[in-house]
């Protein structure tokens, strides 16, 4: 159960500080966003075709997109007191269906609804649904999703500003089937004080030279251990940096191929565990959280955009803000973190918007995608208001080259690093099985790290688990 909250936690990607978008009912901020976006919005958008349905059904698993929509979609007229509907200026009613993801509940219900899409009345048909990176291809690689260019009508130039990897993840055979408003490149956040003691420097550029590949990273781990520090907190901290850099997709035909890079993760993590380079925690558990705080003895954490200024910051304080603590140097280890690129580029999290086949609101869907994922002005506005790292290279580069500084990171402009990392992410090997296989892989090998089973038994357990999840997968090939 905890795992589920974690996953949703991380999928939710994006933003940064707490002071964000609770902005009452979006009335004021949406109007500012609308006015700032005015030049970019075309006249066509406000006059949808006559055949458009009057109800736009949006399915999601939490209210993140809902608040973005209510706050930044220029056509929003009013929002119901219970937030269950939003009315657009042309009279269209947006109906929100939010199903929590616990127990796979969101996907179960979405599947049922999509399978019944044909027989549903027009106003009950799903028009837009949201997906996470982990299982994006399950939906993208199906007949239930619209091509954003061919079916919905976005053009290459509309999408030109978006980071390539955010398009690759939701593309099948060159057909892009979803768009997102956020990019979630990851970095390695380290403790300046520990780096100084272990490496003699806390300068991000210099620390990066010590961590630029895995061999060097392992050397630093040994040095840190010699000084009584742990390099990483848990087993899975580094997993994404390995799994995002595989040489082929997980599955071809019905054969699962375990990438060599993943076995490197296994070997490295086993070594770290046996030598005490990690603290044997798991993502999101209390050990992991407290390792990020004032009493932590961990060198650093792999975190993406949203994790740094929210989760890491919150965990680093000695006195939480709710108890009167201030987000300032002196409270816990505020100011003691810095970020560098680390050994390999990766991303963590992300939510995509998909148009559902059978929708009778194509024009509205197009406009929503245009305004909320392609519009540079709105993207920048979202970043300014919420510190969400948005999916627009130009807007982000502007902030990167500004004099933006993060006090939490000791005055570093981390947006610059994010902007650099985001272009290096290569997700062309993403596949529909990623979530299930990655989860089973981490889970099976955790028993190996903790010493409960031998490596061969962990491999066998992985094979058993994936055949339960995906009966169609017949063979598993391990690297020689």
Partner 1 sequence: MAHTPKNQSEKAILTARRAWCYLVLVLISFLCLFFFYVLIINSTRTHFEIQKGFSLMPGKSIITNFRNVLTDANIPVVSGIRNSLLVSACSAALSVYFSALTAYGIYAYNFKFKKAAFALILLIMTMPTQVSALGFLQLISKMGLKNSFIPLIVPSIAAPTVFFFMKQYLDASLPMEIVEAARIDGAGEFYTFNKIVLPIMKPALAVQAIFSFVASWNNYFIPALVLDTADKKTLPILIAQLRSADFLKFDMGKVYMMVAIAILPVIVVYLLLSKFIVRGVALGGVKG
Partner 2 sequence: MGEKTKKKGSISYAKWGYIFIAPFFIIFAVFQLIPLASTIYYSFFEYYRSGLKIIGPSFVGLKNYITLFATDLPKYFSNTLILWIIGFIPQIIVSLLLAAWFTDLRLKLKGQTFFKTVIYMPNLIMASAFAMLFFALFSDNGPVNAVLLSMGWIKTPISFLNTVWGNRGLVGLMNFLMWFGNTTIMLMAAIMGVDPTLYEAAELDGCTPNQMFWKITLPLIRPILVYVMITSMIGGLQMFDVPQILTNGKGGPDRTSTTMIMYLNNHLFSKNYGMAGAVSVVLFLVCAVLCVVVYFSLTKEDDGLTKAQRKELKAAKKAAAKGGK
Q: Does 250 bind partner 1 (CB under 8 A)?
A: no
169 and 133 in contact (C-beta within 8 Å)?
Answer: yes
- What is the rounded distance in angstroms from the CA atom of residue 353 to the CA atom of residue 180? 6
145 interacts with partner 1 by CB under 8 A: no
DSSP 8-state symbol, 346: -
Token pair listed for 321: 């803000």
Q: How far apart are CA 304 and CA 292, in angstroms?
A: 15
The closest alpha carbon to 8, from 111, 85, 114, 99, belongs to 99
Segment 104 to 143, residues that bind partner 2, using CB under 8 A: 104, 111, 114-115, 137-139, 141-143
Return d(Cα 135, Cα 435) in angstroms, integer: 6
Out of 162, 176, 268, 281, the only residue in the binding site for partner 2 (CB under 8 A) is 281
Asked if residue 280 binds partner 2 (CB under 8 A), the reply is: yes
**Should residue 209 be labelled a site residue for partner 1 when binding is judged by CB under 8 A?**
no
Site string for partner 1, 270-299 (x = CB under 8 A): ----------------x--xx--x------
Interacting residue with partner 1 among 92, 244, 315, 390 (CB under 8 A): 315
Burial bucket for residue 468 (CB in 10 Å: 0-12, 13-18, 19+): exposed
Name the residue among 291, 284, 372, 375 with its Cα closest to residue 337: 291
The residue (of 55 and 357) whose beta carbon lies closer to partner 2 is 357
Residue 178 is given by DSSP the state -
| Residue recorded with tokens 């059978």 | 358
Cβ proximity to partner 1: between 78 and 260 the closer is 78
Min separation Cβ 322 and partner 1, Å: 4
Q: Rule CB under 8 A: is residue 172 a binding residue for partner 2? A: no
Nearer to partner 1, 62 or 87 (CB): 62
Q: Which residue has the tokens 């349905």?
A: 53
Of the CA atoms within 13 Å of residue 427, those in its CB half-sphere come to: 31
Q: Is 428 in the site for partner 2 (CB under 8 A)?
A: no
Q: Which one of 67, 299, 432, 434 is in contact with partner 2 (CB under 8 A)?
A: 432
DSSP letter for 212, please. Answer: S
Burial class (CB in 10 A: 0-12, 13-18, 19+), 397: middle
Q: Is 404 left (phi over 0), alpha (psi -120 to 50) or beta?
A: beta
Identity of the residue, 178 or 350, whose beta carbon is nearer to partner 1 in the bound complex: 350
Tell me which stretch binds partner 1 (CB under 8 A): 62-70, 159-167, 177-185, 469-477.
62-70
Regarding 4 and contact with partner 2 (CB under 8 A), the answer is: yes
Q: How many residues bind partner 2 (CB under 8 A)?
A: 38
Contact with partner 2 (CB under 8 A) among 46, 84, 402, 452: 452
In the complex with partner 1, which residue's Cβ is closer, 12 or 369? Answer: 12
| Geometric angle at alpha carbon 459, from 455 and 464, rounded to 5° | 145
CA 185 to chain centroid: 8
- Which 283-312 positions form the footprint of partner 2 (CB under 8 A)? 285-287, 290
Q: Which stretch, 261-269, 306-314, 387-395, 449-457, contacts partner 2 (CB under 8 A)?
A: 449-457
Nearest 5°: phi and psi at 476? -125, 125
Give contact residues for partner 2 (rule: CB under 8 A): 1-4, 104, 111, 114-115, 137-139, 141-144, 280-281, 285-287, 290, 432, 436, 443, 446-447, 450, 452-453, 457, 461, 464-465, 468-472
Give contact residues for partner 1 (rule: CB under 8 A): 1, 4-5, 8-10, 12-15, 18, 20-21, 61-64, 66, 81-84, 96-103, 105-106, 108-109, 112, 116, 286, 289-290, 293, 306-307, 310-311, 314-315, 317, 320, 322-323
């Amino acid at each position: 159960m905890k795992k589920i909250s974690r996953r949703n936690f991380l999928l939710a990607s994006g933003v940064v500080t707490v002071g964000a978008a609770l902005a009452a009912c979006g009335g004021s901020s949406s109007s500012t966003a609308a006015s700032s976006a005015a030049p970019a919005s075309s006249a066509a958008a406000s006059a949808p075709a006559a055949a458009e349905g009057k109800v736009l059904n949006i399915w999601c698993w939490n209210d993140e997109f809902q608040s973005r929509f209510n706050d930044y979609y220029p056509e929003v007229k009013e929002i119901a007191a219970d937030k269950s509907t939003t009315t657009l200026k042309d009279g269209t009613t947006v109906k929100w269906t939010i199903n929590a993801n616990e127990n796979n509940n969101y996907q179960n219900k979405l599947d049922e609804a999509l399978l019944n899409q044909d027989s549903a009345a027009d106003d009950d048909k799903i028009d837009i649904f949201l997906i996470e990176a982990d299982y994006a291809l399950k939906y993208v690689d199906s007949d239930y999703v619209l091509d954003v260019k061919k079916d919905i009508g976005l053009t290459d130039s509309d999408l030109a500003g978006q980071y390539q990897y955010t398009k690759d993840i939701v593309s099948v055979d060159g057909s892009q089937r979803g768009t997102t408003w956020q990019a979630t490149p990851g970095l390695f956040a380290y403790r300046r004080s520990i780096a100084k003691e272990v490496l003699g420097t806390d300068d991000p550029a210099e620390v990066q030279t010590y961590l630029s590949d895995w061999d060097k990273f392992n050397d630093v781990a040994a040095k840190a251990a010699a000084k009584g520090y742990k390099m990483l907190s848990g087993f899975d901290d580094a997993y994404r940096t390995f799994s995002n850099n595989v040489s082929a997709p997980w599955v071809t035909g019905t054969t699962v191929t375990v990438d060599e890079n993943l076995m490197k993760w296994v070997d490295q993590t086993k070594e770290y565990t046996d030598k005490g380079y990690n603290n044997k925690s798991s993502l999101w558990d209390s050990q992991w959280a407290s390792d990020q705080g004032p009493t932590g003895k961990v060198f650093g954490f792999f975190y993406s955009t949203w994790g740094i200024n929210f989760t890491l910051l919150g965990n680093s304080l000695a006195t939480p803000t709710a108890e009167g603590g201030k987000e300032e140097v002196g409270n816990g280890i505020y100011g003691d973190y810095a970020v560098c690129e680390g050994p390999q580029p990766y991303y963590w999290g992300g939510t995509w918007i998909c148009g559902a086949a059978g929708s009778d609101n194509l024009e509205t869907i197009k406009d929503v995608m245009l305004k909320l994922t392609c519009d540079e002005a709105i993207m920048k506005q979202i970043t300014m208001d919420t510190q969400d790292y948005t999916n627009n290279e130009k807007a982000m580069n502007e902030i990167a080259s500004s004099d933006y500084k993060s006090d939490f990171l000791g005055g570093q402009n981390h947006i610059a690093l994010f902007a650099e990392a985001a272009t290096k992410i290569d997700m062309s090997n993403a596949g529909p099985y990623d979530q299930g296989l990655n989860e089973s892989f981490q889970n099976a090998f955790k028993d190996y790290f903790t010493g409960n089973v031998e490596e061969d038994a962990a491999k066998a357990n992985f094979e058993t688990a994936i055949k339960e999840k995906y009966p169609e997968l017949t063979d598993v090939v391990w690297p020689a």
